[in-house]
Every structure is written in structure tokens, then in C-alpha cells.
Amino acid sequence: MNEHVLKIKKEDVYNEVAKTTSYTGAKMEDDAAYERIFTTEEDKTMLERFWNESKNAICNSMKKFLSDEQEEDGNYTLTLELSASFDESLLESMERSLFSFFVMNITAKWYTLANKQEATDYAAGAAANVEDIMRKAFFKKKPKRPTYN
């Protein structure tokens, strides 16, 4: 077993949630939708709760592999114990999926308050990202036959 670390920045997640909610609100035909849907600085306390719920969810999903979880200065890290034959070329993709999970999951939770008709799609997207991370964590490289000179 080898340790591998996945990292994301909370501020980057919040910025992406703001972009997503802004875009959704701007595209709706309802004039009040933008104000209702777009997340602002004033919404940070609610988003913080959703961030923490998302951390709990990912830890629960990854508990088979989880060796450590930390958040320091807005940097969130998951340390995973993965098989020695884990394909390390998948790490960046796993990190992108982790980022997308947080964005989709927080947006889904926000939309249960502000945009119910789209909440289910975002929750399904978040679940798909967790599945993607898990599939990659279980994936093992084919062993290579040693060559001798």
C-alpha cells in the first residue's frame, strides 16, 4: 500500500459554485431568479455548512482508502492508502473529480433551497464524481514482466 494525496482549495470550489449559480440564474426567464440563485458573500455561512457536509460525504465514500483528512488555511487534503499497483497517472484525474464533486454537491444542496428543479441533476453529478474517484482508486496497473540483461 502506498499513500497518495488529493488536494483542492475551498476558495476555488466556492468561486466555481458562484460561477455555476450565476450562470444558471442569468439563463432563467424569471427576472428574480438571478438574485435568488446566485451565491454571494452573504451566503458563505450556508455554503460553509454544505462544504463540511461534502467533506463528510467524501470521507464516508472513501473510508476504505482514507488514511488522513485535513483542512488547513482553505486547503483540503485527502490522504489515501492505495494498492502498490495503483496507476499513479490517474491521480490528477481523481483530483479533478474530487473538485467537481465538491462543486456539484454544494450546488445541489444550494439548489434545494434556491432552484429545486435542478437540485436532483447536480446531486446525480456529484454522485457520478464519487463513483469515478472510487473506480480509479480500485484500478490496478497490469504487472510488467521483468526483463533481464
Number of helices and strands in the chain (H, E)? 5, 3
Mean pLDDT over 83-87 rounds to: 93
In a domain, residue 148? The reply is: no
In a domain, residue 29? The reply is: yes
The count of structural domains within the chain is 1
Q: Which is higher by pLDDT, 136 or 142?
A: 136
Position 42 scores a pLDDT of 84
In a domain, residue 145? The reply is: no
Mean pLDDT over 92-100 rounds to: 98
Among 28, 56, 25, smallest CA distance to 38 is for: 25
Instruction: Provide the domain limits for residue 61.
Output: 2-138
**pTM for the full model?**
0.91
Cα 60 to the chain's mean position, in Å?
13
Tens of pLDDT, residues 36-76: 887 878 888 999 999 999 999 999 999 999 999 999 999 99
Answer whether residue 34 shows pLDDT above 80. Answer: no
In a domain, residue 23? The reply is: yes
In a domain, residue 90? The reply is: yes
In a domain, residue 102? The reply is: yes
In a domain, residue 147? The reply is: no
Largest CA-CA distance found in the chain, in angstroms, rounded: 73
